[in-house]
Amino acid sequence: MKYSWQISSAIQAGEVDRSRELVTRSLREGLAPGEILDKALMPGMEAVGEKFGGGEMFLPEVMLSASAFQAGLEALRPWLKADDASFRGKIVLGTVAGDIHDLGKNLVAAMFTANGFEVIDLGVNVPAERFVAAVEEHRPDLLGLSALLTTTMSRMPEVIRLLQKRGLHGDPCRVIIGGAPVNEEFAASIGADLYAENAIEAVRMVRRLLLRRKRGEAVAKVGAG
């Protein structure tokens, strides 16, 4: 596709204005909005994710790239049709009540954005009720819970219990948790579906989960046919 390389490299270089201009120019020249998303914007952010994982890019650069991606996406959004929205998936995330640490959570949000997910970031000190309301509203594939303190990790099971009570836990919405004091056994003990040690692993695990789900759906379709 024309401009795909330029748009992708503008995103990787964190050039916000250039990304917006190139997307606008592509639209003017009649390129399909869905193609611009799939063949230019997404590959740009994916390359950023890979470079960050490989230690070639660093946090400030990733954040700037995410802004360039967002700028391109905003220029594109009015023209996208529902079935163009080829996001990999949708994640709602936040830091639990009583905890104001946002660094790990922001990094996870940036990495999911960098990997083509739609990210709804609820911020810090988020009560269980707000997490559940956001799941109800946005119907995400994943709910991500972060906690940095041993005193606040105990808020995680509250969220999951409330999610279950409203019948919102389970496909499509799985729960992934993370944060310094949290580990795999803790995740299992509170009924969380996934635990990730860092932002890159989180994305990897979620992509695997969604791929399995997609395959499962395909198999079910074939079976039904």
User: Which window, 76-84, 144-152, 170-178, 215-223, contacts another protein (CB under 8 A)?
Assistant: 144-152
Buried b (16+ CB within 10 A) or exposed e, 123-150: ebbbbbebbbebbeeeebbbbbbbbbbe
User: Which window, 4-12, 13-21, 178-186, 216-224, contacts another protein (CB under 8 A)?
Assistant: 178-186
Nearest 5 degrees, angle CA 6-CA 34-CA 27? 55
Give 24 or 150: the residue with its C-beta nearer to another protein.
Answer: 150
Write the interaction track for another protein spanning residues 189-218; mark x where CB under 8 A is met and - where it is not. ------------------------------
**At closest approach, how far in Å is the CB of 147 from another protein?**
9
How far apart (Å, rounded) are the C-alpha atoms in residues 202 and 182? 13
Residues 34-63 that bind another protein (CB under 8 A): 55, 58-60, 63
**At closest approach, how far in Å is the CB of 106 from another protein?**
7
How far apart (Å, rounded) are the C-alpha atoms in residues 7 and 4? 5
Residue 5: closest CA among 39, 45, 31, 28: 39
Give 59 or 85: the residue with its C-beta nearer to another protein.
Answer: 59
- DSSP annotation of 171: T
Q: Does 73 bind another protein (CB under 8 A)?
A: no
Give 60 or 225: the residue with its C-beta nearer to another protein.
Answer: 60
- Exactly one of 161, 183, 191, 207 binds another protein (CB under 8 A); that residue is 183
Q: Is 216 helix (H, G, I), strand (E, B) or coil?
A: helix
**At closest approach, how far in Å is the CB of 75 from another protein?**
26
> In angstroms, what CA-CA distances link 57 with 24, 47, 104, 126, 219?
27, 10, 17, 30, 39
**At closest approach, how far in Å is the CB of 183 from another protein?**
6
Cβ atoms of residues 45 and 9 within 8 Å: no
**At closest approach, how far in Å is the CB of 109 from another protein?**
12
Q: Does 149 bind another protein (CB under 8 A)?
A: yes
**At closest approach, how far in Å is the CB of 190 from another protein?**
11
Q: Tell me the helices (H) and strands (E) count for the chain, helix number first.
A: 10, 5
In the complex, which residues of this chain contact another protein (CB under 8 A)? 55, 58-60, 63, 98, 100, 103, 106-107, 124-125, 149-151, 153, 180-183, 186
